Chain A
Amino acid sequence: MNTFVCVKRVPDTSEAEVKVDATEKDVDSSKFSFDINDADNYAVEEAVQIKEAQGGTVQVLCCGPQDADMMIRMALAKGGDSAMRIDDPRINFSDPLQVAKVLAAAIKEQEYDLVLTGCWADDDGFMAVGVALAEELGIPHAAMVKKVEVEDGKVKAHRELEGGISEVVEITLPAVLTIQTGINEPRYAPIRGIRQAQKKELKVLKLDDLGISEEEVSEDSSLIELKRFYIPEVESKAEIIEGEPEEKAEKLAEKMVKGGLI
């Protein structure tokens, strides 16, 4: 089973204060920490577990700047065999269709059975790259996958639906699966493994290397234009409940009862 796993480097904004920068086209990331996108980390673990059970290879694929190399090395330390990073100023990262096109170009000429991506990116939350990638490659996909069963030439993908329902689909390989968090428990990448992973191949490619023309991928050819970021204004209805914890709880409960919420 030869698997490609696509990873993205994203900022951790869970605790940081997010501020829009002066251009309104980006956020001030000077106080952020960056790491592998959470769902992608699960995808890497799933790819490695499939390789451990079935044999084959895991290739790590990333669209992004050099800063992403440490995250890629960590994925290689966990069991990836080699990696490709595509870094080109022509890529409009706000356009998931373009990113999918670039990833597809890196994959399509190679022998592969499975492509795994995270089901969504923690920064832009598009949930689109994996699905668009399947379209570009002309192969089937399953999104939001919580369990994978590999069978001969096929996979059974358990998909997480709303309301706690799971859907099981059987897909003929090759296929794209977008992986949901919680599918496994990602392993630790020890420093020894990261050092050993320095010896594994990490190819850095430009769009020209993949034969992608300006007409196909560039700012101008993108179907999506980022207009601006903004922080929504605080609505006048927002109310801060003051007082000691007990008082706060009582006031909150009262409001919920009055509002018919409980």
Chain B
Amino acid sequence: MNTELQNFIEKYDLYGCIQCGRCTGGCPVTVRTNLNVRRFVYDSIDEDALEELAKLPEIWDCTACSTCAVRCPKGLKPLEVLIGLRGILVLEGQVEPTVRDALESIFREGNPWSKARATRSDWMEGLDVKVADPETEVENLIFVCCTVVYDPRVQVTVKNLVKILNKADVDYAFVGDDESCCASEAFNLGEEELFEMMVEDNTELLNSFKAKRIVTISPHCFNAFKKQYPDLKAEVLHYTQLIGELLEDKKLEFTKELPQKIVFHDPCFLGKQNDVYDEPRFVLSQIPGAELVEFERNKERSLCCEGGGGKMWVESDSKLERLAETRVKDAHALGADVLAAACPFCILTLDDALKAKGFEEEMKVSEILEIIGDLLEE
């Protein structure tokens, strides 16, 4: 028995669990997979069973949405038991090729998408972008996120953010070429030591700038920086919080009308994990002509889109309806013109679901930055 397995009980406080089952009761993926997180917490007490438990495919169904942790009356994080089991396979090198490629890419190129580090700032071409210089003080240091940088579907979000920051004359600068993955997904895929290495490197990099605040585009970077980067000097914000401030201070105003019905989907890493519920809604509420509606399951009860927890690189065996499809159907039933979110993973999963459901003609999936970037006076 190696020490890794012996530490399992202590690391995840397994004896702290009272087996009440609120974790499994609240787990959103149970409607489409066999995952029973309570059972994994219980079974993991037997150190000799861990290797076998790690072979069960359900451990990869968890989206790390954290509903189980939010609901646990004992303050445990049941999902991390699943992440720990994934870690056993990671140390053996026995993970899905897609997971292997994502992790190796984070290690080699600083992003999980197997893209060249040298092209990280290519999105800036032709834009008036301020890039940070370690010698100059800056109020808002912008951290973009690998998915936003490299994925053509969501790259528009950062381009629009630049437009907004310039328009509102914000004191900002982007991290630039040296930016690397926050490694939130490496953690969730069970590669803890890669995560720790990235935390160390990123903390050194981000602290090398004289920045008061770090502003992230993705809630996944936001959550990681807030909760898993203990030595970051600057305050961490999500961009919806910054835009909210600008609107409140009248530094930014949406001048064009958008007479559409918008429903906001709470990203798990922004909402239920960090209680940022009001700012995205406030930003959307400032759009002239727009009507905001709510999902029946909203805020802390929001339904996960299944984009987190490393799920961008792991396909579930389940053939049942994806949660993102359920979400899109619910938005459609509300008569929404726009299903808005503030997270690149949510946008990618919801947009796929929109196509799968064939609602493209009637409804759009849009990042908040995508919507508001077009509402500024030229």
Contacts and interface: CB of A to CB of B under 8 A. Distances in A.
B37 to A, nearest CB: 24
Given A35-B108, A193-B93, A188 B117 contact: no
B116 A12 contact: yes
B224 interface: no
Interface in B120-153: none
Interface of B: 90-95, 97, 99-100, 103-104, 107-109, 114-119, 191, 193-194, 197
A190 B107 CA distance: 10
Nearest to B189: A188
Which 5 pairs across A and B sit closest by C-beta, in order of nearness?
Answer: A187-B93, A33-B116, A188-B100, A191-B193, A188-B93
B118 A191 contact: no
Given A185-B97, A188-B93, A192-B193, A33 B109 contact: yes
Interface string A170-201: 00000000000000011111111111000000
B103 A188 contact: yes
B242 to A, nearest CB: 31
6 contacts: A31-B119, A185-B97, A187-B94, A188-B103, A192-B193, A194-B107
Main secondary structure of the interface of B (DSSP, over half): helix
Contact of B119 (A16, A78, A188): A16
A112 interface: no
A188 B94 CA distance: 7
Contacts of B194: 190-191
B93 A191 contact: no
A32 B197 CA distance: 24
B191 A191 contact: yes
A15 interface: yes
A33 B100 contact: no
Contact of B115 (A15, A189, A192): A15
A87 B100 CA distance: 29
A190 B190 CA distance: 10
A58 to B, nearest CB: 14
Contacts of B117: 33
A70 B117 CA distance: 16
Contacts of A16: 116, 119
A236 interface: no
B315 to A, nearest CB: 16
A189 B193 CA distance: 12
B187 to A, nearest CB: 12
Contacts of A70: 108
A187 B101 CA distance: 10
A16 B92 CA distance: 32
Residue from A15, A188, A194, A195 with most neighbouring chain B CB atoms (10 Å): A188
B90 A188 contact: yes
A193 B91 CA distance: 8
Interface string A1-39: 000000000001001100000000000001111010000
A33 B93 contact: no
Interface string A53-73: 000000000000000001000
B118 A188 contact: no
A231 to B, nearest CB: 19
B171 to A, nearest CB: 31
Nearest to B118: A31
Contacts of A189: 93, 104
Residue from B94, B103, B114, B116 with most neighbouring chain A CB atoms (10 Å): B116
A33 B108 CA distance: 9
Given A33-B108, A35-B108, A188-B103, A78 B116 contact: no
Nearest to B91: A190
A192 B92 CA distance: 10
Contacts of A188: 90, 93-95, 99-100, 103-104
Given A33-B108, A35-B108, A190 B115 contact: no
A192 B95 CA distance: 15
Contacts of B115: 15, 33
A192 B109 CA distance: 18
A186 B100 contact: yes
Contacts of B100: 186-188
Given A33-B115, A186-B97, 7 more contacts: A33-B117, A74-B104, A78-B93, A190-B193, A190-B194, A191-B193, A195-B193
A32 B119 CA distance: 8
Interface in A62-118: 70, 74, 78
B90 A190 contact: yes
A78 B116 CA distance: 23
Contacts of A194: 107
Nearest to B195: A191
A234 B365 CA distance: 39
B95 A30 contact: no
Nearest to A30: B118
Nearest to B119: A31
Interface string A185-227: 1111111111100000000000000000000000000000000
Contacts of B93: 78, 187-190, 193
Contacts of B197: 191
A32 B99 contact: no
Contacts of A15: 115
